[in-house]
Amino acid sequence: MTRLLPFIFLALSQLPIGTAASACSGADLTVSSLSVAIVHHGRYLISYRLVATVTNAGRAAQVSSVLQFLDVKQYGKRLDDRGIPPLQPGQSYKVVYVWRRAVDAGNGTTPLNFRIRVVSPLPPGNNDCNPTKGAKDIWF
């Protein structure tokens, strides 16, 4: 068995790596960053300003007729959304969302998920190039 190991490694090293990533030659939206800051601390409520940055990490521009959103979700339920304009390769767009919660809510007890949703035209095969980067979670 130990004599076969070099041949197995040689065979595995000849396999193409990253072909799935290189198969995407179109637009590829990602939630590249997500931050939160307190903007107002009232007697009963704290207002938080959440800023999500959506970036086209792909190689192609989006068509001008694209209809897409950044959904704000909590526990899988969509609470709200914000429109995202068509993006050129490397271009980013900042989405601001304000969330209010009680002053006595504990730190790290509020989860929100920001997820890209393309409505029209759907990507070929309705398949995102990099679906794991099309969403980001934050707890505050």
pLDDT digits (tens, 9 = 90+) for 90-110: 999 999 999 999 999 998 999
Residue 46: pLDDT band by 50, 70, 90 thresholds? very high
Q: Does pLDDT of 114 surpass 60? A: yes
Q: Is 3 domain-assigned? A: no
Q: Is 117 domain-assigned? A: yes
CA–CA separation, 107 and 104 (whole Å): 9
Mean pLDDT of the chain: 82
Instruction: Find the CATH number of the domain harbouring 90.
Output: 2.60.40.10
Do residues 100 and 46 lie in contact, with contact meaning Cβ atoms separated by under 8 Å? yes
Number of domains in the chain: 1
Beta bridge mates, 73: 78, 113
- Identify the sign of the CA torsion 81, 131, 129, 94: positive
Q: Is 9 domain-assigned? A: no
HSE-up of residue 89 (Cα within 13 Å, Cβ side): 8
Domain that holds residue 41: 26-139
Q: Does pLDDT of 53 surpass 60? A: yes
Q: Is 12 domain-assigned? A: no
Q: State the pLDDT at residue 123.
A: 56
Q: Does pLDDT of 6 surpass 90? A: no
Q: Is 90 domain-assigned? A: yes
Q: Is 120 domain-assigned? A: yes
Residue 127: pLDDT band by 50, 70, 90 thresholds? very low
